[in-house]
């Protein structure tokens, strides 16, 4: 048996670390089997030697989160617990050092942390998951960070122009006007991280490019961060074409939701096909996000779950 004491800056930090109604405290105490108390701006831990060491490490890491962002979420507590307990390798390097308008951008769940770490450690990453799990958002954040650090020369954001129940031919305007709605989600993600004037300037300087997938043919992209969004709506030839654009010093992230394929009937999704084809290639990495990684409105998780439960009944 052993004990440890962790000094804190003030009582507010203590309350933040313990969480609303001590929810963080209970999770740490129950997970590690230690006794934890707090008073006089200190945390006191008692228990088996190894458990006390782990609990001390957990609280020290949580202190760093609170010092940087002013709060800590239940997901972050679970993530750090998993990291310290050896259940979530690689998540220590998952932080995204990016802020916009005073708002810190970082993964919010253990699954998102694995995704960010995978992007950092691999040149070709596929991410599959339902709507709202941050597939595009986090990839764009990593791209902006890499651009600001001058690790790359440009960002290329790509989407297939595949109709989801609508036809391009009936949309008004010229070709650019027709494809703009398909690129809008990528622009929305960028605006969460950069000012409009900065986006405009980077676009004019060709540091940021947003294009439909068809415009990738014949190109070779060097020293770029390339993101293919809605990849479930690529065909097999389109996916092959996209992946072979990869040049020296380039990182590619491919994201999509395999349950939301809008291709014509009997057309195979390039995303699903590529996951099977590339699984044995060194340097390729796949991350799967789940409902618990959804960070949009609380109702989105319930909506996704409701549709997932309905599908098996339709097949009967």
pLDDT, average across residues 105-110: 81
Split at pLDDT 50, 70, 90, the class of 90 is very low
Q: What is the pTM of this model?
A: 0.66
pLDDT, tens only, 128-144? 999 889 999 999 999 99
The larger pLDDT score, comparing residue 103 to residue 237, is at 237
Task: Identify whether the C-beta of residue 122 lies closer than 8 Å to the C-beta of residue 283.
Answer: yes
pLDDT, tens only, 19-74? 888 889 988 988 888 899 998 889 999 988 888 999 999 999 898 888 877 888 88
Q: To the nearest whole number, what is the mean pLDDT of the chain?
A: 84
pLDDT of residue 209: 93
Res 101 pLDDT > 70: no
Distances (CA, A) of 13 to 43, 72, 92: 10, 10, 22
**DSSP 8-class letter at 21:** G
Read out DSSP for 203-216?
HHTTSEEEEEGGGG
pLDDT of residue 316: 52
pLDDT, average across residues 84-109: 63
How big is the CA angle at 253 (ends 249 and 255), to the nearest 5 degrees? 170
The larger pLDDT score, comparing residue 101 to residue 153, is at 153
pLDDT of residue 71: 82
Res 95 pLDDT > 70: no
Alpha carbon distance 3, 282 (integer Å)? 45
Work out the end-to-end distance of the chain between its first and last CA atoms, rounded to an integer number of angstroms.
Answer: 58
Instruction: List the one residue out of 252, 234, 62, 91 whose CA is nearest residue 157.
Output: 252
pLDDT, tens only, 143-178? 999 999 899 999 999 998 764 333 445 445 555 565
pLDDT of residue 92: 42
Read out DSSP for 158-194?
EE----SSS-GGGS-SSHHHHHHHHHHHHHHHHHTTS
Alpha carbon distance 177, 179 (integer Å)? 6
């Amino acid at each position: 048996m052993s004990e440890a004491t962790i000094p804190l800056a003030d009582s507010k930090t203590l309350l933040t670390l313990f969480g609303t109604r001590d929810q963080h405290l209970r999770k740490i105490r129950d997970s590690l089997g230690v006794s934890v108390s707090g008073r006089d701006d200190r945390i006191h831990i008692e228990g088996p030697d190894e458990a006390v060491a782990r609990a001390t490490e957990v609280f020290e890491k949580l202190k760093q989160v609170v010092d940087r962002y002013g709060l800590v979420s239940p997901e972050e507590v679970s993530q750090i617990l998993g990291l310290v307990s050896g259940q979530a390798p690689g998540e220590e390097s998952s932080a995204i050092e990016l802020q916009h308008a005073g708002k810190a951008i970082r993964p919010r769940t253990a699954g998102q942390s694995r995704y960010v770490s995978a992007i950092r450690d691999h040149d070709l990453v596929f991410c599959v998951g339902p709507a709202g799990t941050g597939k595009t958002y986090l990839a764009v954040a990593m791209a902006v960070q890499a651009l600001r650090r001058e690790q790359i020369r440009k960002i290329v954001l790509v989407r297939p122009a595949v109709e989801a129940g609508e036809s391009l031919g009936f949309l008004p305007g010229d070709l650019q006007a027709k494809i703009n709605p398909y690129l809008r989600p990528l622009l929305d993600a960028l605006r969460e991280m950069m000012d409009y004037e900065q986006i405009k300037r980077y676009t004019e300087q060709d540091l940021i490019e947003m294009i439909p997938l068809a415009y990738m043919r014949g190109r070779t992209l060097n020293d770029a961060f390339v993101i293919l969004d809605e990849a479930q709506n690529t065909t097999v030839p389109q996916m092959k074409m996209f992946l072979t654009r990869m040049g020296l010093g380039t990182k590619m992230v491919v994201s999509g939701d395999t349950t939301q394929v809008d291709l014509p009937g009997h057309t195979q999704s390039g995303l699903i096909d590529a996951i099977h084809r590339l699984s044995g290639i060194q340097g390729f990495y796949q991350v799967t996000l789940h409902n618990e990684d959804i960070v949009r409105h609380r109702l989105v998780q319930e909506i996704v779950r409701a549709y997932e439960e309905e599908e098996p009944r339709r097949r009967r």
